[in-house]
Amino acid sequence: MTEAMTDLSGKRVLLGVTGGIAAYKAAELVRGLRKAGADVRVVMTSGATRFITPLTLQALSGWPVRQDLFDPAHEAAMGHIELARWADLVLVAPATADFMARLAAGMADDLLTTLCIATETRVFLAPAMNQGMWRNPATRDNAAVLGRRGIGLWGPAEGDQACGETGPGRMLEADELVLRTARVLKEGTLGGVRVLLTAGPTREAIDPVRYITNRSSGKMGFALAKAFRNQGAHVELVSGPVDLSPPAGVELVSVEQAVDMESAVMERVVGCDIFVACAAVADYRPVKVAHHKIKKDSESMSIELTRNPDILAGVTALRDRPFCVGFAAETQHPEEYGERKRISKGVDMIAANLVGGDQGGFERDENALTVLWEGGCTFLPMSDKGRLAEALVQQIVERYEANSIEDPRSPPR
Ligand code: PMT
């Protein structure tokens, strides 16, 4: 671990310690964070104090350890809401099954859960527990709920456990946690990752004044671009005609027709790590585009249409293809039809949404998504597209990182 990789100078880390045997590693973690230059404040649950004393962590962090939500002396010095706002990052290590359950349930029954709920900064948990507890469906569900809310899980690792068993449940080593903290605070979770997105509708010209299009506003795609940027990714956004400004720092390429969108994507996709196809690309375009405005001479007219290229299928067919995420716009059975599309398009993940009707994802500020990948599925409930995009990016990051680990050609970040 080089010094540059773990430079945390000027960064403020709130470390939560909960009651498991791995709490003894918190001492090493505080030392590592301090050594990297971070200002560290420690909050312990009452269970944690049974495994390691507050005095130890006070001595190592240089600050009194907070334990009580209703401590008048501490509240007068720095109230809990102030402390929640103070942090650049909240790390709970170790995070027990009980703590995860309470956080997933939205409880604020002690200082640490209250801080995790009150903070607007990113929260990461380093789970540590017996392997059976980690594998238990209740814990798996709680982990999934927390992930959907944007809480990051670091670990657990597999190996020998304090209870004598072997399996997943070991807390990541302090060095690894310091490294990950530095990476998130320096670069964001996706620092150095190139993301290419499509968004909005396409317009297929009939004549110089008329076109075929759809109801896509671009809101979902632009929200995704912002959420990826917030995670430190380099983002290029190829968009059809929309009435939106690109998020700061996002490179916008404006196009009209599907064929132009395809060219823009193919020019940029080489070397990109993640491709997300959120655009509502017109499936057909007129075979002939009239040079002049078509006159209404006859009572009826027909327009011959031809299939547009499938941009997403073109990207998934590439030899060195990026991690591919598609969308599926359905008017019914999003899970079933989305799964079919995931397989037929050969994508790593698909986000299916309902379109048309009152719940439709087009144009509105809110949406809901059923996210599917091989062997997994999660539902992201109706919320504004900004929050939804953050939750989807979180899911993508998890699958992308897991995929990188499974595929030795692309090393994990
Ligand atoms: O823009 P908003 O108003 O915010 O609305 C968001 C949205 C509803 C448009 C968005 O959430 C969404 O569902 N986008 C995909 C719309 C769509 O075209 O879905 P599809 O099921 O027809 O296509 C499947 C996938 O193939 C999509 O990833 C699509 O981008 C891609 N595709 C489709 C056709 C084509 N010729 N090229 C493609 O790349």
List domains and CATH numbers for the chain: 12-187 (3.40.50.1950), 194-406 (3.40.50.10300)
Q: pTM of the prediction?
A: 0.69
Q: What are the pLDDT digits (tens) for 207-257?
A: 999 999 999 999 999 999 999 998 889 999 999 999 999 999 999 999 999
pLDDT tens, position by position, 134-173: 999 999 999 988 877 778 889 999 888 888 888 899 999 9
Residues whose beta carbon lies within 6 Å of some atom of ligand 1: 198, 200, 216-221, 258, 277-281, 283, 308, 310-312, 326-329, 341, 353, 355, 361-363
The Å distance, Cα 199 to ligand 1 centre, comes to: 8
Spacing, Cα 329 to ligand 1 middle (Å)? 6
Alpha-carbon distances, residue 277 vs 150, 286, 293, 399 (angstroms): 22, 23, 33, 16
Pocket test for ligand 1, best of 275, 278, 305, 387 (most atoms within 8 A of CB): 278
What CA–CA distances, in Å, run from 86 to 39, 83, 109, 153, 190?
11, 5, 21, 22, 23
CA 124 to CA 174: how far, in whole Å? 14
Gap between the Cα atoms of 174 and 39, Å rounded: 16
Report the distance separating Cα 65 and Cα 100, nearest Å.
Answer: 21
Give which of 325, 315, 204 is closest to 259, Cα–Cα.
204
Candidate list 163, 272, 278, 377, residue with the active-site label: 163
* Active-site residue flag, 163: yes
* Probe target for ligand 1 pocket from 203, 257, 307, 312, with the most ligand atoms within 8 Å of CB: 312
pLDDT of residue 146: 87
pLDDT tens-digit series, residues 271-302:
999 999 999 999 999 999 999 999 988 899 99
Atom from ligand 1 closest to the CA of residue 311: 39
Q: How far is CA 56 from the centre of its chain?
A: 35
CA-nearest residue for atom 26, ligand 1, is 312
> Average of pLDDT values for 370-388?
93
pLDDT for position 74: 81
